[in-house]
Amino acid sequence: MADNEPTTVSGFGIDPVYGPGHLDGFDAEEQLGTPGEYPFTRGVYPTMYRGRLWTMRQYAGMSTAEESNRRYKYLLDQGTTGLSVAFDLPTQMGYDSSAEIADGEVGKVGVAIDTVEDVKALFDGIPLDQVSTSMTINAPAALLLLMYQIAGEEQGVEPTKLRGTIQNDVLKEYIARGTYIYPPAPSLRIIADTFGYCAEHLPNFNTISISGYHMGEAGATPVQEIAFTLADGIAYVQAAVDAGLDVDAFAPRLSFFFVARSTLLEEVAKFRAARRLWASIMREQFGAKDPKSQMLRFHTQTAGVQLTAQQPEVNLVRVAIQALAATLGGTQSLHTNSFDEALALPTEKSARLALRTQQVIAHETDVPASVDPLAGSYLIESMTDRIEADARTYLDQIDEMGGAVAAIEQGFQKGEIERAAYELAKDIDAERQVVVGVNRYRTDDEISPDLQRIDEAIREGQIARIDQVKSQRDQSGVDTALDEVRRAAKGDDNLLPPMREALRRRATLQEVCDVLRDEYGAYVPSEKF
């Protein structure tokens, strides 16, 4: 293929014209089907956005729980239809704000959460039986979910009325992100325990959001993104089945999380291919009978990695195109990045503009009028087939290696993503890939937007809050509850009930995580990484 011939991000060529010849062996009835029916290529619901628009979430969290609470109320007032919580790095790593390692990071990239009291403050005045809350948290996801349950109960909301999603996808942390705590085996045990606990206690909560987003941000191609994400999904389902759970008891609450890039057509095809692949995997490999177990329901976030610090206002255009790709591809919920996020956390104004982008697509375009607007396009169907086939090749490779965990331990997914990222970087440096305002169409008179700043003093306030909680709690009761967590970790009992009791007695996040660190150890990547 000549250097000047256009190609997809996944590396295959784009022909100038598409026709029936690109769809050899294509069975429209079998491969497309009916919206809301297997294999769900055309969408997981029969009416899609004609029946209900996607959930408009704006990922937010900063500084203290009180500050984030103000932002959530602002976004709800502006028309967002679901909350999405960003946590700071100490919380993501299972450390309290008082830990030495937390110095300099408290409240920086998300909200600081140390105890149930912080979660109560985070949602103060927000009725948890009336909103859906997504929490982007992984290694300590079960603990944040339990804190949310306790906060809801102390607000007077029954657990069965709580709705939302926890990301809870630790395998992708070993591949592309790094906020892991424990080794893979105990991490999978905690996730399987969460599946079982939620099936009994929190039936309307999505127990995992299996994430390709962060792989895409690390440089994965669309093919790699869905292949490695679905491989992780297979590992989670297998772990739960091996733990004795019936697949149709937990699989309907699985969800996924993907990136939407500016390459609109390939992204639409990617989403359609992912749905078809997952439906086949669940029916053929795991024998799932419930159609809800076969559905790939997913959240989308526009591509943060494609935002530029140069000419940041151009990001408004990028985000609009990416949001269009997500909605044309049939997403169930969407976060649109703010134009200033390459520089800082978003301001209220930039977050509002990002939300308005979704609202314009929802109410001022005809995209929601049709269930699957691009179905039948020769190009879209050809790309969908190619992405599915190439992703299956990766899945077969991972299966031959012993599954996702074995492949992770061999550094396979990480190595493939790093190679793809390197090739893209070379293309940008050589201007084979144009990035407007970066390697072409540069200007010297760039706008300097107002930026969100985080007060360095908030760590002191968080430490004072922890001290206050500890001074008021029954320490012997906390010690007993933590001993029960240790006993469960040593045995086979579900970990979540004793962890819930420890948190209810106001154990801190780190105190519970430290018990599990003592029992399971901390994960250290091999030299292959």
Q: Which helix (H) or strand (E) holds 155?
A: none
Q: Do 285 and 378 sit in the same domain of this protein?
A: yes
Task: Note whether 55 and 358 are within 8 A (CB).
Answer: no
Region 324-349: mean pLDDT is 94
Q: Do 85 and 212 sit in the same domain of this protein?
A: yes
Residue 72 lies in a domain: yes
pLDDT band of 29, cuts 50, 70, 90: low
Nearest alpha carbon to residue 326 among 303, 304, 346, 345: 303
Residue 60 lies in a domain: yes
Residue 295 lies in a domain: yes
Residue 278 lies in a domain: yes
Region 155-169: mean pLDDT is 95
Q: Do 523 and 384 sit in the same domain of this protein?
A: no
**Is the model more confident about 14 or about 347?**
347
Domain with residue 320: its CATH number is 3.20.20.240
Region 4-26: mean pLDDT is 77
pLDDT score of 276 more than 70: yes
pLDDT score of 1 more than 60: no
The pLDDT value given to residue 467: 97
What tokens were used for 44?
């997981």
Region 276-291: mean pLDDT is 97
Q: Do 378 and 510 sit in the same domain of this protein?
A: no
Q: Do 421 and 501 sit in the same domain of this protein?
A: no
Domain carrying residue 215? 46-361+374-429
Residue 470 lies in a domain: no
The pLDDT value given to residue 57: 87
Q: Do 416 and 510 sit in the same domain of this protein?
A: no
Region 338-364: mean pLDDT is 93
CA separation for the pair 83, 364 (Å, rounded): 23
Q: Do 513 and 396 sit in the same domain of this protein?
A: no
Residue 449 lies in a domain: no
Q: What are 212-234's pLDDT values in tens digits?
A: 999 999 999 999 999 999 999 99
pLDDT band of 529, cuts 50, 70, 90: very low
412, 429, 446 - which closes a domain: 429
pTM value is 0.90
Strand-pairing partners, residue 206, are 165
**Is the model more confident about 44 or about 4?**
44
The pLDDT value given to residue 10: 86
Strand-pairing partners, residue 260, are 302
Residue 28 lies in a domain: no
Q: Do 409 and 527 sit in the same domain of this protein?
A: no
Nearest alpha carbon to residue 225 among 258, 202, 191, 196: 258
CA separation for the pair 481, 494 (Å, rounded): 14
Q: Do 527 and 404 sit in the same domain of this protein?
A: no
pLDDT band of 16, cuts 50, 70, 90: confident
pLDDT band of 452, cuts 50, 70, 90: low
pLDDT band of 33, cuts 50, 70, 90: confident
Position 320, amino acid: A
Domain tally, the chain: 2
Q: Do 496 and 392 sit in the same domain of this protein?
A: no
CA separation for the pair 394, 402 (Å, rounded): 13
Q: Do 60 and 162 sit in the same domain of this protein?
A: yes
Q: Do 510 and 406 sit in the same domain of this protein?
A: no
CA separation for the pair 124, 337 (Å, rounded): 25
Residue 23 lies in a domain: no
Nearest alpha carbon to residue 506 among 463, 467, 464, 459: 467
